[in-house]
Amino acid sequence: MNDALGLAGAAAALGIGMLVGLERERHKGRGDRRACAGLRTFAITALLGYVAMQVGGALLVGIVGGCLAVLISVAYWRSLSSDPGVTSEVALLTVLVLGALCGTAPELAIAVGVVMAGLLAYRQKLHHFARSQLSEAEMRDGLVLLIAALVVLPLTPDRFIGPYSALNLRTLCTLTVLLMAVGAIGHIAVRTLGVRYGYAVSAIASGFASSTMTIAAMGHIARKDPEHLKVLSAAALLSNLATAAQVALILGAVDTALLPHLWGPLLAGFGVTLLFSLGLLFPRPAVAANQPIKVGGAFNLKLALAVTLTMAGVTFLSSLMLDHFGEAGVMLTAVLSGFADAHSSTASIATLAKGGLLDYAAIAPPVLLAVSSNALSKCLVAWISGGRRFAAYVIPGQTLLTAAMWAGLLVDQATI
């Protein structure tokens, strides 16, 4: 078995070297001006890293790496006048390290090798994107999002604080990062697919993270770009499709026997949302489809903080009501918690049913109460983020969605 693992590691190292080497071979040039490394050099270097790791461990890999760095430096100085870049040289050293890594973690080495080959292959498109398409505002927002997601969020304590232990700093920070990410996803989709389809696709996708945050992001864009008000309103409503899908997924994950009791309401809400949104998207808006897309920031940090604080206030109010008035049953809990999140309420109700504390046939009303209170919260967010005109489209859509779900429940109960 050890021999088999050794051969697998060597094969992985050879594959990484050949993959990167093939890409470099296509760009090394010909004649006296050709680059110092191509297919054979990269393949041999990867195998050298693997063998060095097996024979002498990290120390020998370091020595081999030092010798390779000297050879690369000599080759670089010889070609400095024709090619001042160091991409091939750095890639060669990376391939050596990846070859050594194949002895202990071949999956990680292969993944890194594939990513590196992709970066090398798409260098011209990446250069064009960075120099011609990426604006200063987008660059700034991207850095802010990365800092918030990779630095601030991991350092935020995950514990409940304040009166009634209602607020969790990690949750608040996560909501802020999530709203920024939703805005960034929508921005990228619009730049790629255009205004009409880009907003719709991004809203459905980001709705699985948070439909409320998606509506807030679309409302913010609507304030800046009122010419696409209908398209943005339709995108905001389409994020409810993700909410309906998530409710079904949560119920199915807890117990598939729960799903038949909510198929009618979910399908009714899904259909009404889709029809209402398509009515806003079509016929074609008065704005020309080929109108240049306005390039600005990917998201608004002030809006993200404002919406997060609003949701925190709703959560605190819910905890205050529960503390003073006690447990008024599943219905009251579903309504209060649904203002902040319908999914947690759905999960708790489904868990109660599976544990025998609630009849399966009785889960639909509290779940729909949670969805209805969440719809009310979305209407409030739409008004705050997008203003009166944006809310004039979103609120009727949310109202029809909620009414359709309750109507679906009445039809289901009438047919039993």
- What residue spans define the domains of the chain? 2-129, 135-415
At 390 the pLDDT is 92
Under 8 Å between Cβ of 289 and 228: no
The mean predicted confidence, pLDDT, of the chain is: 76
- Model confidence at 205, pLDDT cuts 50, 70, 90, reads confident
Q: Residue 17 and residue 95: Cα distance in Å, rounded?
A: 6
Query: How do strand 167-168 and strand 160-161 relate by DSSP bridges?
Result: antiparallel
Q: Which pLDDT tens digit goes with each residue over 136-191?
A: 777 777 788 888 888 888 888 877 776 666 567 787 787 677 767 766 776 676 66
Highest mean pLDDT among 44-48, 132-136, 178-182, 362-366: 44-48
- DSSP, res 163: G
Half-sphere exposure of 382 (CA within 13 A, CB side): 28
Q: Residue 236 and residue 396: Cα distance in Å, rounded?
A: 12
At 51 the pLDDT is 92
Q: Is the pLDDT of residue 327 over 50?
A: no
Q: Is the pLDDT of residue 392 over 70?
A: yes
Highest mean pLDDT among 85-89, 308-312, 363-367: 363-367
Phi/psi of residue 161, nearest 5 degrees: -135, 175
At 294 the pLDDT is 45
Lowest-pLDDT range, 2-16, 92-106, 235-249, 365-379?
2-16
Residues with Cβ within 8 Å of residue 152, at least 6 apart in sequence: 173, 177
Higher pLDDT, 415 or 323: 415
- DSSP, res 149: I
Q: Residue 31 and residue 49: Cα distance in Å, rounded?
A: 29
Residue keyed to tokens 């967010």: 381
Q: Is the pLDDT of residue 395 over 90?
A: yes
Q: Is the pLDDT of residue 363 over 60?
A: yes
- Rounded to an integer, the average pLDDT of 385-402 is 91
The amino acid at 396: P
Tokens of 41: 């050099």
- DSSP, res 349: H
Chain centroid offset of residue 99 CA: 32
At 158 the pLDDT is 76
At 196 the pLDDT is 67
Please name the helix (run of DSSP H) or strand (run of DSSP E) that holds residue 168, with its range, or none. Answer: strand 167-168
Tokens of 405: 């779900």
Residue keyed to tokens 């297919």: 39
Tokens of 35: 């680059």
Under 8 Å between Cβ of 119 and 126: yes
Lowest-pLDDT range, 9-13, 108-112, 245-249, 372-376?
245-249
- Rounded to an integer, the average pLDDT of 384-392 is 90
Q: Is the pLDDT of residue 39 over 80?
A: yes
Comparing C-alpha atoms, which of 53, 77, 80 is closest to residue 65?
53
Comparing C-alpha atoms, which of 372, 316, 382, 387 is closest to residue 342?
372
- Rounded to an integer, the average pLDDT of 281-305 is 54
- Rounded to an integer, the average pLDDT of 329-351 is 61
Comparing C-alpha atoms, which of 228, 292, 220, 265 is closest to residue 369?
265
Q: Is the pLDDT of residue 77 over 90?
A: no
Q: Residue 174 and residue 185: Cα distance in Å, rounded?
A: 16
294: left (phi over 0), alpha (psi -120 to 50) or beta: beta
At 351 the pLDDT is 65
- Model confidence at 295, pLDDT cuts 50, 70, 90, reads very low
Residues with Cβ within 8 Å of residue 287, at least 6 apart in sequence: 195, 227, 228
Q: What percent of the chain has pLDDT over 90?
A: 11
At 197 the pLDDT is 75
- Model confidence at 284, pLDDT cuts 50, 70, 90, reads low
- DSSP, res 295: P
Residues with Cβ within 8 Å of residue 343, at least 6 apart in sequence: 243, 246, 247, 250
Counting every residue, how long is the chain?
416
Q: Is the pLDDT of residue 117 over 80?
A: yes
Q: What percent of the chain has pLDDT over 70?
A: 67
Comparing C-alpha atoms, which of 127, 226, 142, 124 is closest to residue 188?
142
Comparing C-alpha atoms, which of 54, 65, 56 is closest to residue 103?
54
At 72 the pLDDT is 80
Q: Residue 79 and residue 91: Cα distance in Å, rounded?
A: 16
CA torsion angle 141 145 146 147 (round to 10): 100
Lowest-pLDDT range, 135-144, 215-224, 318-327?
318-327
Higher pLDDT, 364 or 234: 234
